[in-house]
Amino acid sequence: MPPLAAGLLTQARGPVFSDKWVEKYKFPAHASQVSAILYPMRIDTIACPAEIEAKLLSKHQVTSLEVRQAILNNPRIRFAEQGYTEGEDVYAAFGQTFGGRYLSVFFVYRPSNHIAIIISARDMSKKERKAYGRK
């Protein structure tokens, strides 16, 4: 594993994500036939580029520390959309910071080296918060 760059990468402590299950939805022709596929997702490193950190703070008033806490604090993760690079899809993590703030965090997952690259984060909407409560 490459050394951690100051402020850009955070090493997840222990096997926090080794047993996580992710819901990936496939949407057939009829929406009533939606099925969920479950498979494990392991995140060893969380990367947040400096320009994304600045955007999160200025636009959404979310710090990179809160983003990392929400991802480390047993989030509900779902498939959001297919990525531009094959195998690197976008996921949404719905979680709570250690201070109790509910966040929606969007990230690109690289399964080859188990890295989550943060692309956005914001407060959960009322609808997301209600669904998160049913977890």
The pLDDT tens digits for 97-132 are 999 999 999 999 998 899 999 999 999 999 999 888
Can you give the pTM of this predicted structure?
0.72
User: Architecture of domain 42-133 in CATH?
Assistant: Roll (3.10)
Q: Which pLDDT value is given to residue 39?
A: 59
Q: With 60 as the cut, is the pLDDT of residue 75 above it? A: yes
Q: Quote the percentage of the chain above a pLDDT of 70.
A: 69
Whole-number Å distance between alpha carbons of 130 and 45: 29
40, amino acid identity: P
Span 58-84, mean pLDDT? 93
Q: Is the pLDDT of residue 8 over 70?
A: no
Q: Which of 2-16, 42-56, 64-78 has the lowest mean pLDDT?
A: 2-16
Q: Where are the domains of the chain?
A: 42-133
Cβ atoms of residues 114 and 124 within 8 Å: no
